[in-house]
Amino acid sequence: MNRMIPLSVPNLKGNELKYVTDAVNTEWVSTGGSYIRKFEENMVHYLKVDQAVACQSGTAGIHLALKLCDVQTKDEVIVPTLTFIAAVNPVRYVGAEPVFMDCDDTLNMDLDKVEEFLEYECKLTNEGTVNKKTNKVIKAIVIVHVFGNMVNMEKIMKIASKYNLKVIEDATEALGTYCTSGTYSGKFAGTIGDFGVYSFNGNKIITTGGGGMLVGKKKELMDRAKYLSTQAKDDELYYTHNHVGFNYRMTNLQAALGVAQLEMLEDFIETKTLNYNLYKKEIEKIDGLRVLDVNKNTRPNFWFYALVIDSSKYGLNRDELLHELQEVKIQTRPIWGLIHEQMPYKENQAYKIEKANKYIDSILNIPCSTNLKSEDVNIVTKKLTHLKRG
């Protein structure tokens, strides 16, 4: 096979060139211009929320959300260990410390362990929920919808209410995922907690090259997010700044891409769903391999497909399979290194990390681009079949 099948690349076959050309022709290419407002408005309409603030990245969105949740240096934030590090680093940006939680069999945060930790390792006080070990207040929890697979939001919102925690939904991988039953039926990932954050990095389901979006429930806080993201200008003419702000605004060129990409989102999800089902059907025939299931009662966006490898049955371990596929130009990727094992966070509290240790060595993400064709899926699955040992 001569042609490479990449892991996840952008699909720019809509109105991207038209809108970006228009932005260039009008000479609005920086952090002002009509496409920023239009992208925010279109996201508001799609997500059925009241306000959205475009920003430089998903990381910037999480940082802003933590600031708006009043997380400070004396505080702690519950975070997953199995995630991309961008979900955790902003906790340090505000001077707070993360407390790491294990994953469950969906790779999302184990909510049973979260509940157990809060009940037995913490105490409710007038100041909030205090970690008995560190005597610090746990102010918030960052929930990541890993690979677009939605966390049980009913459960986490009940936990958060009981323990007075702010909920920040890292929906950077989950744009388009929503609940299909229960209390939050029809609600999109990112719109249920206090704040939700989306990413438009190059490998996301829609892309602006780099960029993000913050959504929230309270207008005054979202207005403050916009204020902080634009260098906290109190007087734009005379450059008066009464607070420390950030250069976090999206550019008009990026937003022009975003407007075009959002128009294609549901088509992208349809393609990803079809390819996921095709992968699942064929891979189920291979002893030692399976495609990770998605949570029930949701419409997932199927951003990434997680291949689970039982090396004792399949005959190859994760790294061996990765290299074999690389040799035939099929790009795959292991999941992230666990964050509590990374150098900056080795001294932080990590609560009963068990399943994450297991999954880190047995997961490969396989090609999932929105322009992936059924023939490509068949090439990948046939190769997986042929590579099986024994």
Q: For residue range 227-276, what is the model confidence (pLDDT) as tens digits? A: 999 999 999 889 999 999 999 999 999 999 999 999 999 999 999 999 99
Q: Are residues 184 and 330 in the same domain?
A: no
Q: Indicate the SS3 state at residue 213.
A: strand
Domain count, the chain: 2
Concatenated DSSP letters of 87-119: GTHHHHHTT-EEEEE-B-TTSSB-HHHHHHHHH
For 274, the 3-state DSSP assignment is helix
> Which of 263, 289, 313 is a domain's end point?
263
Report the DSSP pairing between strands 122-125 and 128-131.
antiparallel
The range of the structural domain enclosing residue 137 comes to: 16-263
Tell whether 180 and 325 lie within a shared domain.
no
Please indicate, yes or no, whether residues 112 and 211 belong to a single structural domain of this protein. yes
Q: Are residues 109 and 134 in the same domain?
A: yes
- Distance between start and end Cα atoms, the chain: 24
Same domain, 216 and 322: no
User: CB-based contacts of 44: which residues, under 8 Å, 6+ apart?
Assistant: 50, 51, 52, 215
Same domain, 36 and 94: yes
Query: Is the same domain home to 187 and 89?
Result: yes
Tokens of 26: 């009008």
Q: Are residues 34 and 73 in the same domain?
A: yes
**pLDDT digit of tens for each residue in the chain (390 aa)?**
468 999 999 999 999 999 999 999 998 888 888 999 999 999 999 999 999 999 999 999 999 999 999 999 999 999 999 999 999 999 999 999 999 999 999 999 999 999 999 999 999 999 999 999 999 999 999 999 999 999 999 999 999 999 999 999 999 999 999 999 999 999 999 999 999 999 999 999 999 999 999 999 999 999 999 999 999 999 988 999 999 999 999 999 999 999 999 999 999 999 999 999 999 999 999 999 999 999 999 999 999 999 999 999 999 999 999 999 999 999 999 999 999 999 999 999 999 999 999 999 999 999 999 999 999 999 999 999 999 997
pLDDT tens, position by position, 179-223: 999 999 999 999 999 999 999 999 999 999 999 999 999 999 999
CATH number for the domain that contains residue 342:
3.90.1150.10
Task: Look at residue 2 and tell me if it is in a domain.
Answer: no
